[in-house]
Structure 1
Amino acid sequence: MPRLNVIVASTRPGRVGRRIGDWFAAAAVRHGAFDEVRLVDLAEVGLPFHDEPHHPAEGVYLHEHTRSWSATTAAADAFVLVMPEYNYGFSAPLKNAIDYLYHEWQHKPVGFVSYGMTSGGLRAVQMIKQVVTTLNMVPVNEAVTIFLRQALDDAGELRPDPGREEAADLVLDRLARLAVALAPLRAVAA
Structure 2
Amino acid sequence: MPAPHLQIIVGSTRPGRRGHAVGTWFHDLAVRHEGFGIEFVDLAEVGLPLLDEPRPPQRGQYDHDHTRRWSETVRAADAYVFVVPEYNHSYNAATKNALDFLAKEWAGKPVAFVAYGGVSGGARAVTALIPVVSALKMVPLSHSVHIPSIRTAMTAGGTFESSPGLDADASAMLDELRRLTVTLSALRLGDPVG
CA RMSD of aligned residues (A): 1.2
The structural deviation recorded for 1:167 is 1.1
Tell me the residue number matched to 2:107: 106
The answer to whether 1:51 aligns with 2:90 is no
Distance 2:100 2:162 in 1: 35
Q: Give matches, 1:27-106, under 5 Å.
A: 27-34=29-36, 36-106=37-107
Distance 2:140 2:189 in 1: 19
Tell me the residue number matched to 1:140: 141
The structural deviation recorded for 1:169 is 0.5
The answer to whether 1:3 aligns with 2:37 is no
TM-score w.r.t. length of structure 1: 0.94
Tell me the residue number matched to 2:184: 182
Question: SS at 1:18's partner residue?
Answer: helix
Deviates more, 1:77-86 or 1:142-151: 142-151
Tell me the residue number matched to 1:14: 16
Verify the 8 A CA contact 2:11 2:85 in the aligned structure 1. yes
Distance 1:187 1:12 in 2: 38
The answer to whether 1:166 aligns with 2:168 is yes
Distance 2:159 2:46 in 1: 24
Deviates more, 1:115-124 or 1:156-165: 156-165
The structural deviation recorded for 1:187 is 2.7
Question: SS at 1:153's partner residue?
Answer: coil
The structural deviation recorded for 1:118 is 2.0
Amino acid across the alignment from 2:186 = P
TM-score w.r.t. length of structure 2: 0.93
Deviates more, 1:177-186 or 1:86-95: 177-186
After superposition, what is the alpha-carbon deviation per residue over 1:63-105, rounded to whole angstroms, capped at 9, x for unaligned? 1100110010000000000000000011000000000000000
Across the two proteins, how many residue pairs are aligned to each other? 187
Tell me the residue number matched to 2:123: 122
Structure 1 residue runs without a partner (length 5+): none
The structural deviation recorded for 1:43 is 0.4
The structural deviation recorded for 1:168 is 1.0
After superposition, what is the alpha-carbon deviation per residue over 1:3-58, rounded to whole angstroms, capped at 9, x for unaligned? 00000000000101001111111111110001x20110000000000011111000
Verify the 8 A CA contact 1:84 1:115 in the aligned structure 2. yes
Verify the 8 A CA contact 2:90 2:125 in the aligned structure 1. yes
